Amino acid sequence: MRSDTLTMPTPEMRKAMAGAELGDDVFGEDPTVNRLQEVAAERLGKEAGIFVSSGTMGNLVGILVNARSGEEVIADADSHVFLNEAAGSATLGGIQIMPIKTERGLLTPEQVQEAIRPDDQHQPRTAAATFEDTHNRHGGIAWPLADLRAAATAARERGLAVHLDGARIFNAAVATGVDVKEIAATADTVTFCLSKGLGAPAGSVLTGPKDKIAAARRWRKMLGGGMREVGMLAAAGLVALDTMVDRLAEDHANARTLAEALAEMDGVRVELDRVQTNLVFFEVDSMPPERFLAECRARGLRAEASGRKIRFVTRHGIDAGDVQQALAVVAEVLST
């Protein structure tokens, strides 16, 4: 239960990969990659898409096409782009992230407006804002559509571009019952991962206007992201989009079962209102997280922690029986 990146490709994906029609994607000649890009763009209501190796690359390129060296991008202080992408935008793009602390990972319109720099030669120009949906560090929270629209509108009214880190955007759509196109419409560019809940072995797609995706293609080349005959991976992505989106509801249900049972255990604290998708964060009072994780690992259950918070993740390959087995392990560990 460490991460939904641990999903394995389904038999249908493996079959599609083996039979994929291939070409050189750097020349734009891989028909399977081209099809994935077209399908992804259509699903999100965007003009174009580009297949990239990872969500981190998708976010990096998304920032690079929306801001320039010496400019600044507004983001939540607990966002993936600020905490978990190795300062790529600063190192490779000369772009500074302005981290804004929030209660639930959801920037308000007022916070966006207040974070925009004045027209002052001493300060960087604010070029864009980026939002994360679902928000990992805040428990897999899905943005209410009205709140996301309001934050994005606040940015656009001041001339800012908007990038959405939608690594788990389909989880957000399933959890809120909102069409993924409506979520994506709040942003100029949107990245989503094929290799998390959707179960493909690798890859993400960045979608947006044709001109920005053309710029993204150049950035991808500079970053060493041209992957040649990569249609085998794209084929898995097409199967993922076709067969794995609706089943995310199973992961959400398993996470809810897990969270509610954990909340009933003595010395375990879970904020149930944050358990909206496939992530469950909780704290254990009786021992440090490191010891708890070690005891779980010794019993065949692997998870992660950030500070005091322990994270369990449900995904394809984790079923209701696995959830009950995990709960039994936790109960045993807590009794030691």
Which candidate, 335, 46, 6, 327, places its Cα nearest to that of 182?
Answer: 46
Question: Are 272 and 236 in a shared domain?
Answer: no
pLDDT tier for residue 244 given thresholds of 50, 70 and 90: very high
What pLDDT shows up at residue 336?
Answer: 87
Tokens of 127: 């070029």
Question: Are 113 and 180 in a shared domain?
Answer: yes
Question: Are 229 and 253 in a shared domain?
Answer: no
Give helix 289-298 / helix 320-334 axis angle, nearest 10°: 120
pLDDT tier for residue 4 given thresholds of 50, 70 and 90: very high
Question: Are 113 and 209 in a shared domain?
Answer: yes
Question: Are 273 and 207 in a shared domain?
Answer: no
Q: Which amino acid is at 65?
A: V
* Domains contained in the chain, number: 2
Burial 84-120 (b: 16+ CB within 10 A, else e): ebeebbeebbebbbbbbebebbbbebebbeebbeeee
Q: Which residues pair with 306 in a beta bridge?
A: 309
pLDDT per position as a tens digit, 106-152? 999 999 999 999 999 999 999 999 999 999 999 999 999 999 999 99
Between CA 305 and CA 309 the distance in angstroms is 5
Q: Average of pLDDT values for 76-83?
A: 97
Running DSSP on this structure, what letter comes out for residue 287?
A: S
Tokens of 6: 């641990």
pLDDT tier for residue 94 given thresholds of 50, 70 and 90: very high
Of 242, 260, 295, which residue is a domain's last?
Answer: 242
Question: Are 168 and 306 in a shared domain?
Answer: no
What pLDDT shows up at residue 334?
Answer: 96
Of 197, 217, 242, which residue is a domain's last?
Answer: 242
- Read off the pTM: 0.96
Question: Are 224 and 308 in a shared domain?
Answer: no
pLDDT per position as a tens digit, 177-214? 999 999 999 999 999 999 999 999 999 999 999 999 99
Tokens of 274: 């944050």
Give percent of the chain with pLDDT exceeding 90: 99
What kind and span of H or E run contains 202?
A: none
Between CA 207 and CA 48 the distance in angstroms is 6
Q: What is the CATH number of the domain that holds 64?
A: 3.40.640.10
Q: Given a cut of 90, is residue 58 above it in pLDDT? A: yes
Q: Within a 10 A sphere around the Cβ of 273, how many other Cβ atoms?
A: 9
What pLDDT shows up at residue 102?
Answer: 96
Q: What is the CATH number of the domain that holds 264?
A: 3.90.1150.10
Question: Are 196 and 274 in a shared domain?
Answer: no
Which candidate, 57, 55, 51, places its Cα nearest to that of 39?
Answer: 51
Q: Average of pLDDT values for 60-81?
A: 98
Residues 6 or more apart from 114 whose CB is under 8 A from it?
none
Question: Are 108 and 145 in a shared domain?
Answer: yes
Q: Average of pLDDT values for 19-30?
A: 96
Question: Are 76 and 111 in a shared domain?
Answer: yes
Q: Average of pLDDT values for 7-27?
A: 97
End-to-end CA distance of the chain: 21
Between CA 333 and CA 283 the distance in angstroms is 14
Could you list the residue range(s) of the whole structural domain that residue 196 is in? 4-242
Give percent of the chain with pLDDT exceeding 70: 100
Our measurement of the distance from residue 57's CA atom to the centroid of its chain's CA atoms, rounded to an integer in Å, reads: 12
What pLDDT shows up at residue 327?
Answer: 98
Tokens of 244: 């794995």
Tokens of 232: 């085998």
The per-residue pLDDT of the chain, averaged, comes to 97
> Using omega within 30 degrees of 0 as the cis cutoff, is the peptide bond preceding 134 cis?
yes
Of 242, 259, 278, which residue is a domain's last?
Answer: 242
